[in-house]
Amino acid sequence: MYMLSLFGVIIAQLVVSRAFYLPGLAPVTYCEEGKTTDTCKSVISLYVNKLDSVESVIPYEYHSFDFCVSDESSSPVENLGQVVFGERIRPSPYKISFNKVEECKELCKKSYDPKKPDEMKKLAFLKKGIMLNYQHHWIIDNMPVTWCYDVEGDQKYCSPGFPIGCYVTKESKAKDACVTSAEFHKPDTYYVFNHVDITLTYHSSTDADWGSVVTSGVGGRLISAKLEPKSMKHDPTKKGADACKNAPAMAVPGEDKAKVDIKFTYSVFFQVNNNIKWSSRWDYILDSMPHTNIQWFSIMNSLVIVLFLSGMVAMILLRTLHKDIARYNQMDNSEDAQEEFGWKLVHGDVFRPPRKGMLLSIFLGSGVQIFFMSMITLVFACLGFLSPANRGALMTCSLVLYVCLGTPAGYISARMYKMFGGERWKTNVIMTAFFCPGFVFSLFFIMNLILWAKGSSAAIPFGTLVALLALWFCVSTPLTFVGAYFGFKKRTVEHPVRTNQIPRQIPDQSFYTKPLPGIFMGGVLPFGCIFIQLFFILNSIWSHQMYYMFGFLFLVFVILIVTCSEATILLCYFHLCAEDYHWWWRSFLTSGFTAFYLFIYCIHYFVAKLDIEGAASTFLYLGYTTIMVFLFFLLTGSIGFFACFWFVSKIYSVVKVD
């Protein structure tokens, strides 16, 4: 009943969230020139963002390509998450005024002379970008400028980006990501999208819901920004709108023999639509995401199966345990008590400290830190604070929470290490503060060097890198020390049974009760409950699709916690019944092995779903995947360990031991 109630609350949250916009973002009202007020402006700013590709992990800034640029001194300030994700929002030279139609307005001209190496180098980089299908990402009124086109099933997909051009191979085949046209037929030719038709749709100010903002019907709030990219070779003898009519495609040959002149133009049109409210303006983008209906059905199906399996495992385990405890207590009360057997037989060794207790305590502290970071981030996301409209908020929230949650990491690590009987408390504190974050930062720094060498926008600037180190050393590390101080100051955790001085010999185990088979089997069920959601998460990261199903992600996270706990407890119970009391590391590795299946799935996704080319992009993909898998290993391993620790303490506290 509890899980059904939770499911109902989350579904209600998903439905209600569609009626509200991101908290803290107010609408902007636009008016025609000459009718502006303090609450209404006429200039609509168009910002450009980084360019990325599904065929390369390396994004670039807008000015890295030889496009028309403007003064970037007034660029918006990116938050920490945007900088880490490589977003670089810059002002554009496109001039747009509310309700002012522009047709074939010239932006700039670019010339490439084969006799000038610098110009040809820029042209070669532009061609490479077209070949790798690099995408523009533009922003108007904090909304992505979308490119909508028809897909299979008579549906329309609105992409938050559009390609910079189209490449026709030597076999006269256009790239799949480009718009195919009868004009795009020349082999080994690059077609530059040098013209865009921008259509802005607004909600008129005649709507009485605006209250005091209503301004005699001359204003509006933007509810969509769409464009259609085109390739045009403009006729220099024509001016204005005539220059774009019946213009052939702008073809750039693969061989650099002739001079190339590219003229960039744009048109702006306006439409009125009072049927869509400003608060619902993201719906057309999110609803057009591919496989949305499949995602709903698959998650519901997976949810029912996982809940059923979890209920069955819990019921069997509780019934079996109840019989064991009743039998053990009856034998203790009887005069002719027989020899102990089963999991009660190892009561004198079950709490014997594990080997490598220092490393285990460090992993547990870092795992708890990641757990609370993930939980709090998902709660904020479900409340709408980390929606796609608030760019970079998800990464910023995660980084800040991770830094501020150093205290729980130090506290848990110290408590566990003290329980294991460790005495090198200084080493424990230092390793907790630096081992796991240091491993992640080292990988991140190596990948950042590659991005620096490639001139990518994803390369973290030196100042931001210093800021991240300052957060680590000046905030996270002291908080870890504070947590460790209170952890060591607390009394040692008391176990329900005493530990014998001489360790008991473990009998020969069958194949199914040996450590490795149990560890391999333990991660199957937790992975089974997340792999569907994992596909859409990887799509949002590597295929640049928007992820917004945070309600379902929170639900899947709760199911992951339940399944990791139950799978680990069940296997731990079987091993204890087989008189194998080495459960400390096994409980951590059993649920932590889910990360291994995650890594295998990421490799499968790379091979089967992505078309990434180049050694640098492949290395970066594997590097980012390694970081994600390592953090997931710490998270799931800690969940399984503490569930198993609670279970073992509970069952040995309710049986009578002489």
Whole-angstrom Cα distance, residue 598 to residue 592?
10
Tokens of 150: 């028809």
Kindly report which listed range (34-48, 52-66, 320-334, 625-639) carries the lowest average pLDDT score.
Answer: 320-334
Residue 634 and residue 368: Cα distance in Å, rounded? 8
Between 630 and 19, whose confidence is greater?
630
Q: What is the pLDDT of residue 213?
A: 45
Q: How far apart are CA 134 and CA 137, in angstroms?
A: 10
CA distance 148 to 151: 10
Over range 280-307, report the average pLDDT.
68
Q: Using alpha carbons, list the distances in angstroms from residue 201 to 22, 155, 538.
A: 20, 20, 32
What distance in Å separates the CA atoms of residue 377 and residue 613, rounded to the nearest whole number? 33
* pLDDT on residue 361: 95
Q: Identify whether the C-beta of residue 62 lies closer than 8 Å to the C-beta of residue 89.
A: no
Strand partners, 190: 167, 252
CA distance 165 to 146: 16
What six digits make up the tokens of 258? 């002739």
What are the φ/ψ torsions at residue 544 (nearest 5 degrees)? 60, 40
CA angle 406, 410, 412 (to 5 degrees): 115
Burial of 626 (0-12, 13-18, 19+ CB in 10 A): middle
The tokens for 2 are 């509890």
pLDDT at 484: 94
- Output the pLDDT for position 428: 92
DSSP strand pairing (56-60 vs 147-151): unpaired
Amino acid identity, residue 333?
A: N
User: What is the tens place of the pLDDT at every residue in 187-231?
Assistant: 778 889 999 999 999 988 654 444 444 444 467 899 999 999 998
Q: Which residue has the higher pLDDT, 287 or 606?
A: 606
* Helix, strand or coil, per DSSP, at residue 599: helix
Number of H helices, E strands in the chain: 18, 20
Q: What is the Cα–Cα distance from 474 to 35, expressed in whole angstroms?
A: 52
pLDDT of residue 205: 67
Other beta carbons within 10 Å of 287: 13
What is the CA angle 337-342-347, rounded to 5? 85
For 273, 449, 530, the CA distances from 399, given in Å and listed in that order, are 40, 21, 23
8 A C-beta contact, residue 407 and residue 98: no
Please report the pLDDT score of residue 208 as a whole number. Answer: 44
Report yes or no: 89 and 243 within 8 Å, Cβ to Cβ.
no
pLDDT tens digits, one per residue of 535-565 = 888 888 888 777 777 887 888 898 889 889 8
Q: How confident is the model at residue 404 (pLDDT cuts 50, 70, 90)?
A: very high
Of 14-18, 196-200, 363-367, 540-544, give the lowest mean pLDDT range. 14-18
Distance CA 454, CA 265 (A): 30
Residue 296: pLDDT band (50, 70, 90) is low
Question: Which parts of 18-147 fold into alpha helices (H)?
Answer: 80-85, 117-131
Given the structure tokens 């086109």, which residue do they identify?
A: 149
CB proximity list for 628: less than 8 A, separation 6 or greater: 598, 602
The answer to whether the Cα torsion of 636, 637, 640, 643 is positive or negative is negative
Contacts of 416 (CB under 8 A, 6+ apart): 357, 360, 361, 364, 365
Segment 234-244, tens digit of pLDDT: 888 888 788 88
Asked whether the predicted pLDDT for residue 519 surpasses 80, the reply is yes
Answer whether residue 647 shows pLDDT above 50: yes
Instruction: Quickly list H helices, 424-583.
Output: 425-454, 462-471, 477-489, 515-522, 524-528, 531-542, 550-577
Which range of 258-267, 583-592, 627-636 scores highest in mean pLDDT? It is 627-636
Q: Which among 409, 410, 381 has a CA at the least distance from the CA of 395?
A: 381
- How many CA atoms are closer than 13 Å to the CA of 100, on its beta-carbon side? 14
Highest average pLDDT, of 204-213, 398-407, 645-654, comes from: 398-407
pLDDT of residue 440: 95
Task: List the single range of 37-51, 97-111, 167-181, 511-525 with lowest mean pLDDT.
Answer: 167-181
Per-residue confidence (pLDDT) for residue 242, from 0 to 100: 82
**For position 174, what pLDDT does the model report?**
60
**Coil, helix or strand at residue 189:** strand
414, 415, 407: which is closest to 493 by C-alpha?
415
Centre a 10 Å sphere on the Cβ of residue 147 and count the other Cβ atoms it contains.
Answer: 21
Residue 20's pLDDT band (cuts 50, 70, 90): very low
How high is the pLDDT of residue 441? 94
Neighbours of 73 (CB within 10 A): 6
Checking if the pLDDT of 12 tops 60, the result is no
Distance CA 596, CA 582 (A): 22
Answer with the residue of higher pLDDT: 371 or 166: 371
Q: Residue 120, Cβ neighbours under 10 Å: how many?
A: 15
According to the model, what pLDDT value does residue 21 have?
44
Q: Of 184-193, 261-270, 533-542, which range is least confident? A: 184-193
Q: Are 103 and 241 in contact (CB under 8 A)?
A: yes
CA distance 366 to 363: 5
Which comes out higher in pLDDT, residue 581 or 146?
Answer: 146
Element (H, E) at 102: strand 102-112
Instruction: Retrieve residue 338's tokens.
Output: 């027989």
The reply to whether the predicted model has a pTM over 0.75 is yes
Closest among 620, 546, 609, 502 to 282, alpha carbons compared? 546
**What is the rounded average pLDDT of the residues 463-480?**
93
The DSSP 8-state label assigned to residue 240 in this structure reads G
Tokens of 11: 């579904």
Residue with tokens 């709760």: 558
The residue ranking higher by pLDDT, 507 or 168, is 168
Q: Look at 180 and 167; give whichever has higher pLDDT.
A: 167
Closest listed residue to residue 109, CA positions, set 275, 227, 243, 295:
243
Considering the chain, what is the average pLDDT of its residues? 82
